[in-house]
Amino acid sequence: MNLITEQTTKIKATLPKGDPNKKQEVFYNPLMKSNRNISTLLINSIKNKKMNFVFPLAGSGIRALRFLKELKRGKISTIHVNDLKENFPTTFKENLKLNNLNTNKVLIHNQDAELLLLTQHQGGFGVYFDYIDLDPFGTPNPFLASAVNKIKRNGILAITATDTAALTGTYPKVTKRKYWATSLKNYIMHETGLRILIRKVQLQGIQFDKALIPILAYHKDHYFRLYFLSEKGKEKCDQLLKQHQYFLFNPKTLEFKTSNYNQESEFQFAGPLWTGKLINKPLITKMVKNNPFPEEQKFLETLKEESKIDITGFYDLHVLSKKLKQDPKKRDILKKIKASPTHFSPTGFKTKKSIKEIIKILK
């Protein structure tokens, strides 16, 4: 066991070495620090108060501990923490003590995540949650149905997915089976993968008239991270469905577009996928302003810029240079063609201009 400090919080945990599924070890992944930083910042940047939080796959419990330490006053009504590992309750209690945290808002569980979500009752009624954080190893699929079921109106459903290869064209059959869509392997694959995953989560909600609207969705390091606002209503669901389309890409001309159809000569396709917004502009603006984590500032600022041109697909400087046989500078491109950077790639940029217009301006 190591004593680890992450921002405000200390924990006793084992750093990942070998098999993270090993029974007795509490799992702490330092690479996910940024993921956790952004989650506390997001909750501190929305208006919701007196929230009922649940961490069904809490691991070391570091995220829950950080929420207890870092969230503004009045945000937390209750926090449920759960992990299937046998020693989880003991170590979590120790970690609460280590951080001098009061336990009266915390409920500690040690059972299967789905069972936990579905079987919480209070006063004879099922408990619904204002915030559910799914942080599984790999795909969130096994937990989606229960999480979508148990998220409250105006609640936030947060999901991490680390099975990026299954969504970005490395295993096309897996994408079909697990995510009911066709993936594409090219420089836009992280965006199409993220959008395929968003649609899959939304379909789970739509069948119960729950509209899950992305307020922040991004790709970073080796994972996807998604935050949905849960709203109720058939019409809202119909609106979401209209934004499930195909992404068409012509590798020769670099032209791309979204469409209800996937068969057009010269075009490859990915999807169906979510073609709506990935980033809520007022939210990211607030997050950039309130951010207490210097190490996240650049990434958040890129997301803020990107939220101004939040369309499906982007161009890549290297790919474009090859085509144009010239070497345009990114700064010049952003200025000349009114483009925004994209977090999906350091050499990528988003613009509503077509490839023909871009070439004309650059030549």
Q: What is d(CA 236, CA 229) in angstroms, rounded to the nearest whole number?
A: 12
Long-range contacts of the stretch 1-8 (C-beta < 8 A, 24+): 4/28, 4/30, 6/30, 6/33, 6/36, 6/62, 6/66, 7/33, 7/37, 7/66, 7/70, 7/293, 8/66, 8/69, 8/70
> Is the Cβ of residue 187 or residue 293 nearer to ligand SAM in the bound state?
293
User: Of these, 6, 70, 83, 296, which contacts ligand SAM (CB under 6 A)?
Assistant: 83
Is 140 among the residues that bind ligand SAM (CB under 6 A)? no
Is 139 among the residues that bind ligand SAM (CB under 6 A)? no
Report the nearest approach of ligand SAM to the CB of residue 50 (Å): 23
Report the nearest approach of ligand SAM to the CB of residue 336 (Å): 42
- Binding segment toward ligand SAM, per CB under 6 A, in 51-59, 97-105, 191-199, 280-288: 51-59
Question: Is 141:177 a contact under the CB 8 Å cutoff?
Answer: no
Total residues in contact with ligand SAM, by rule CB under 6 A? 18
Report the nearest approach of ligand SAM to the CB of residue 287 (Å): 20
Token look-up 């600022």 returns 301
User: Of these, 38, 67, 130, 136, which contacts ligand SAM (CB under 6 A)?
Assistant: 136
Is 134 among the residues that bind ligand SAM (CB under 6 A)? no
Alpha-helical (H) ranges within 110-154 are 113-119, 141-150
User: Of these, 37, 79, 81, 85, which contacts ligand SAM (CB under 6 A)?
Assistant: 85
Q: Which of 125, 247, 113 is nearest to 191 (CA)?
A: 247
Q: What is d(CA 185, CA 125) in angstroms, rounded to the nearest whole number?
A: 47
Q: What is d(CA 199, CA 139) in angstroms, rounded to the nearest whole number?
A: 14
> Is the Cβ of residue 137 or residue 208 nearer to ligand SAM in the bound state?
137
Q: Which residues within the stretch 90-129 sit at the binding site for ligand SAM (CB under 6 A)?
A: 112-113
Is 130 among the residues that bind ligand SAM (CB under 6 A)? no
> Is the Cβ of residue 28 or residue 315 nearer to ligand SAM in the bound state?
28
- Name 324's Cβ contacts closer than 8 Å, sequence gap at least 6: 359, 362, 363
Is 191 among the residues that bind ligand SAM (CB under 6 A)? no
Is 164 among the residues that bind ligand SAM (CB under 6 A)? no
User: Of these, 135, 163, 191, 306, which contacts ligand SAM (CB under 6 A)?
Assistant: 135
Q: What is d(CA 358, CA 220) in angstroms, rounded to the nearest whole number?
A: 28
Query: What's CA 44's distance to the chain center, in Å?
Result: 17
Q: Which of 186, 238, 246 is nearest to 210 (CA)?
A: 238
> Is the Cβ of residue 134 or residue 151 nearer to ligand SAM in the bound state?
134
User: Of these, 60, 91, 245, 291, which contacts ligand SAM (CB under 6 A)?
Assistant: 60
Q: What is d(CA 161, CA 180) in angstroms, rounded to the nearest whole number?
A: 16
Q: Which residues within the stretch 13-42 sit at the binding site for ligand SAM (CB under 6 A)?
A: 27-29, 32
Q: Give just the sign of the alpha carbon dihedral 205, 210, 212, 213.
A: positive
Is 163 among the residues that bind ligand SAM (CB under 6 A)? no
Q: Which positions lie near ligand SAM, rule CB under 6 A?
A: 27-29, 32, 57-60, 62-63, 83-85, 112-113, 135-137
